[in-house]
Amino acid sequence: MAATVVDVLNVKKVNFTSDAGALQTGTVADGFEIPIDGKTINVILTGTAAGTVTFKQGNGIQGVKDLTVAVPKDKVVAIRLDTGYFENVSGDDKGKILAIPSAATISVIAIAD
């Protein structure tokens, strides 16, 4: 099975809405892939049960370690990712950030600046 592709909402102008997107739920085995297209990425996480999401280190020069974020039950967590740390710059996942949830109860959507 393939990773779940996360919707990335592009906020283009001040005081205007983005296109609509949906929260995506991924599997523990395959996780999420977040296409970044060279933009700063803000990720919104929520869960129907407590868990974590691990953002995998990218394969560029700045990709030195994973980052695990706690997601409390029925709460919303936002994180602004440094794409240099997490972007894959080569290979099959080029231009993507990979994230693995601890359970299939965690949903994700992203917002690009």
45: domain CATH number? 2.60.120
Q: Enumerate residues 6+ apart whose C-beta is below 8 A from 81.
A: 40, 41, 42, 43, 55, 97
Question: Which pTM does this prediction carry?
Answer: 0.91
| pLDDT digits 0-9 by tens, 28-80 | 889 999 999 878 899 999 999 999 999 999 999 999 899 999 999 999 999 99
The pair of three-digit structure tokens given for residue 27, joined into one six-digit string: 């599997």
Cα-based angle 79, 100, 23 (whole degrees, multiple of 5): 60
Strands 41-47, 51-55: pairing kind: unpaired
Total tally of structural domains belonging to the chain: 1
Domain that holds residue 52: 4-112
How far is 107 from 103, CA to CA, in rounded Å? 10
